[in-house]
Structure 1
């Protein structure tokens, strides 16, 4: 499926290109010692500017999900799973991604997952699959 790719910025480049080295990189605040997403130049919790990318484990769990059956575009392979994944590195560190490599009917809330990357041009999309 073709995807609309993000515009790379100094703040988000590590997140979108960390997969080239097999690393999921989330922004981290040195002042309050918390990860946050999406990447930004200022910590949304304490407003510190002492922030930057740091590698995380890439492991987490499915917090919630939906299965899409709507062919929004002719190149979509249906059905596909859109999920909110909470990373194991910090409670509340969540983002939206796709669950791949697992039949949609086998996805479940609480299912352990691990990141895998799909390269599209100069972006490595963080997708998740069932953890081994």
Structure 2
């Protein structure tokens, strides 16, 4: 990802910010300019709570460039409490039996190693929820 685009979207990567439609219950991640449900423009920024459930998952054994030092690692789809389904890397999964429907929470972690520009990319990942009584 280009550095300027990454910085424009840093709220989405660090704080799980998306958009909410003022005319319908639509909540979207990543942020959108127009609601796909009702076609309303001027969506407002919306901060997701960072909790959800594991919808699906897989283990990556042959990673793409920039991710080799993290292999093997888990990726998944998480259904946020507010509704959107997002793709993500999963963190803190060593020795954990992942299961569909497992409660998860967002954490900010290193996403990939430095590449040709020399910067390390940080962003959201999800881990099994601590203190599941929340």
TM-score, normalised on structure 2? 0.75
Q: Which runs of 5+ in 1 are unaligned?
A: none
The residue aligned with 2:115 is none
Q: Which runs of 4+ in 1 moved over 2 A?
A: 71-75, 118-124
Q: Distance in 2 between matches of 1:122 and 1:69?
A: 21
Give the equivalent residue in structure 2 for 1:110.
101
Q: Deviations over 1:71-96 (max 9, x none)?
A: 43375121111100100122xx1110
> How far apart in 1 are the matches of 2:40 and 2:48?
20
- Between the two proteins, the alignment pairs up a number of residues equal to 121
| Structure 2 segments unaligned to the other structure (5+ residues) | 112-118
Give the whole-Å Cα distance in 2 for the aligned partners of 1:98 and 1:127. 5
Preserved contact between residue 17 and residue 29 of structure 2 (Cα < 8 Å) = no
Please state whether the residue corresponding to 1:95 is helix, strand or coil.
strand
RMSD over aligned Cα atoms: 2.6
Whole-Å Cα distance in 1 between the matches of residues 89 and 54 of structure 2?
Answer: 10
Equivalent position to 1:94, from 85, 89, 107: 85
With normalisation by structure 1, the TM-score equals 0.76
Tell me which of the two structures has the higher relative contact order, counting C-alpha pairs closer than 8 angstroms and 6 or more residues apart.
1
